[in-house]
Amino acid sequence: MNRLPGRPISAKASLRPGAHARPGAHARPGAHARPGRHDRARGVALVEFSLVLIPFLYLLMGMVDLGRGIYVNNAVAQAAREIARVTSVHPCTGSPCTTYGPETRAVIDTQKRLIPGLADSGIVVDCTDVANNPVTVTAGNSCPAGQFIRVTVTVPFQVVTPFIPTPKNFSFSSVSHVQVP
């Protein structure tokens, strides 16, 4: 311990923790029964922590929901583009498609693994003209050249954060068009 010149070292300053100032002096019985200043400060800190914790967790869960929503929105748009691109090169039969080629089926299966909640019922592939009117395709045939493959992907989404006012049946959807070569 450093001592300033001209200042004596007090008896209490040189004691180790738990030692008493006088030999033989003992703490009063029940000295710790009444909380001291340190105990009250800890109690105040605990109350302040509990008051700040709830809004902090609410904001944290909201940020997680926002991140999930952005991911699912981007993934649905990417899935629609990928499925439309592959289906235009490797056509399916019927409109809406009833039988997919192996390449299209592989892309759909990959997208189902990447996007939580995506099912076959959320993917609609059909044939349209340039004005986006449905083109009738007979069974067993594929979309004719010069027409467009339209893929609609829809995924349900539910927020995790409680008390956020969102519709019960909230979903993300994306549509992509690719011309058949």
The tens digit of pLDDT for each residue in 113-136 reads 999 999 999 999 999 999 999 998
- Domain containing 97 equals 37-179
d(CA 10, CA 13): 5
Cβ atoms of residues 21 and 11 within 8 Å: yes
pLDDT in single tens digits along all 181 residues of the chain: 555 566 555 555 555 555 555 555 555 555 555 556 677 777 888 889 989 998 999 899 989 999 999 999 999 999 999 999 999 999 888 778 878 889 999 999 999 999 999 999 999 999 999 999 999 888 778 888 899 999 999 999 988 888 777 777 789 999 999 999 8
29 within a domain of the structure (yes/no): no
Residue 70 lies in a domain: yes
Rounded Cα distance, 82 and 84, in Å: 5
Phi, psi of 118 (to 5 degrees): -75, 130
> First CA to last CA across the chain, in angstroms?
87
Q: Is 94 left (phi over 0), alpha (psi -120 to 50) or beta?
A: left
Is residue 150 situated within a structural domain? Answer: yes
- Is residue 13 one of the residues assigned to a domain? no
- Sign, Cα dihedral of 10, 15, 18, 24: negative
Q: Is residue 17 part of a domain?
A: no
Number of domains in the chain: 1
